[in-house]
Amino acid sequence: MTVQLDLGGLCIDVVKKNIKNVHLSVYPPSGKVRISAPLYMELDTIRVFAISKLAWIKSQQRKILAQERETPREYLDRESHYLWGKRYLLQIVEKDATPNVELTHGKLILQLRPGTDDGRRQEILDSWYREQIKIAMPDLIAKWEPLLGVSASRIFVQRMKTKWGSCNPSLKNIRLNTDLAKKPPECLEYIVVHELAHLIEPTHNARFTALMELFMPKWRHLREELNRLPVRHEDWDY
């Protein structure tokens, strides 16, 4: 069941679910706000919670609205694409063979079967980006799991519209956004440490902040750098 709260012109979608805790989210590209709340929680209680978070909500909305967004990708020759923060010009090669992606001399060569449409071109590149993160992960995990004293059960890499990463502390599963392969390598490392730290502290409280300060003192700078970089153009569906 979904209802709306109106807090002085700020509309908030409230979704009642079979969950234990309240979750507050602010979504790109327009800063839409959603609260997921337990089934038993009264609307007045949710309203008080939302009021207490107004400053944070407005701060997140400002960041979202200020963030640069990529133009829609058309997957044409000489279109700009990125790997680990470096710019490459796309070169399309049509060949009746297995699709392939290759980097060479500032070019990202996308080999496709003749007639491959835009949707399939995107799928091939997304799969390649996903593989780049999987290649980078073993060294990062080997470095950071012993330092934090944790061990992730599984690590998934997938397209994510609203987050760079997520963690399920009870299952010890971590999910990473495929688009991290487009950003500088230190951004991926920051997100990995961030999610591993959630295996110790699930919330973003003072303890979590202290952990990040201890293990990665420059984490705030890396967060700002990541959030300052252009993000993928999406047709958002709430």
CATH label of the domain that carries residue 220: 3.30.2010.10
* 61 in a structural domain: yes
How many Cα atoms occupy the beta-carbon half-sphere of 50 within 13 Å?
23
Q: Where are the alpha helices (DSSP H) in the chain?
A: 43-52, 54-66, 118-148, 185-197, 206-215, 219-228
Tell me, yes or no, whether 102 and 211 share the same domain: yes
pLDDT-derived band of residue 29, with 50, 70 and 90 as boundaries?
low
Q: What is the DSSP string of 75-122?
A: --TT-EEEETTEEEEEEEEE-SS--EEEEETTEEEEEE-TT--HHHHH
Among residues 44, 66, 88, the one where a domain terminates is 66
Tell me, yes or no, whether 108 and 45 share the same domain: no
Tell me, yes or no, whether 51 and 88 share the same domain: no
Percent of all residues in the chain with a pLDDT value above 90, rounded to a whole number: 67
Count of the separate structural domains present in the chain: 2
What is the pLDDT, as a whole number, of residue 219? 94
* 156 in a structural domain: yes
* 59 in a structural domain: yes
pLDDT-derived band of residue 70, with 50, 70 and 90 as boundaries?
low
* 236 in a structural domain: no
pLDDT-derived band of residue 232, with 50, 70 and 90 as boundaries?
low
Tell me, yes or no, whether 38 and 111 share the same domain: no
Tell me, yes or no, whether 193 and 89 share the same domain: yes
> Residue 145: helix, strand or coil by DSSP?
helix
* 51 in a structural domain: yes
Tell me, yes or no, whether 39 and 115 share the same domain: no
Q: What residue numbers bound the domain in which 84 lies?
A: 80-228
Tell me, yes or no, whether 118 and 159 share the same domain: yes
pLDDT-derived band of residue 1, with 50, 70 and 90 as boundaries?
low
* 71 in a structural domain: no
* 187 in a structural domain: yes
Label residues 54-85 b or e (16+ Cβ within 10 Å = b): eeebeebbeebeeeeebeebebeeebebbbee
Least confident of 15-19, 29-33, 45-49, 105-109: 29-33
pTM score? 0.73
pLDDT at 34 over 70: yes
What is the pLDDT, as a whole number, of residue 234? 44
Tell me, yes or no, whether 214 and 158 share the same domain: yes
**43 phi and psi angles, rounded to 5 deg:** -65, -35
Percent of all residues in the chain with a pLDDT value above 70, rounded to a whole number: 91
Tell me, yes or no, whether 7 and 43 share the same domain: yes
* 158 in a structural domain: yes
pLDDT-derived band of residue 101, with 50, 70 and 90 as boundaries?
very high
Query: pLDDT tens digits for 106-140?
Result: 999 999 999 999 899 999 999 999 999 999 999 99
How is residue 40 annotated by DSSP? T
Among residues 66, 91, 114, the one where a domain terminates is 66
Residue 238 to residues 28, 30, 65, 100, Cα–Cα distance (Å): 10, 11, 17, 33
Among residues 66, 96, 113, the one where a domain terminates is 66
pLDDT at 228 over 60: yes
Tell me, yes or no, whether 59 and 84 share the same domain: no
Tell me, yes or no, whether 38 and 136 share the same domain: no
What does the mean pLDDT of the chain come to?
89
What is the pLDDT, as a whole number, of residue 9? 85
Q: CA quadruple 167, 172, 178, 184: dihedral positive or negative? A: positive
What is the pLDDT, as a whole number, of residue 68? 61
pLDDT at 21 over 90: no
pLDDT-derived band of residue 237, with 50, 70 and 90 as boundaries?
very low
Name residue 174's beta-bridge partners.
155, 167
Tell me, yes or no, whether 213 and 126 share the same domain: yes
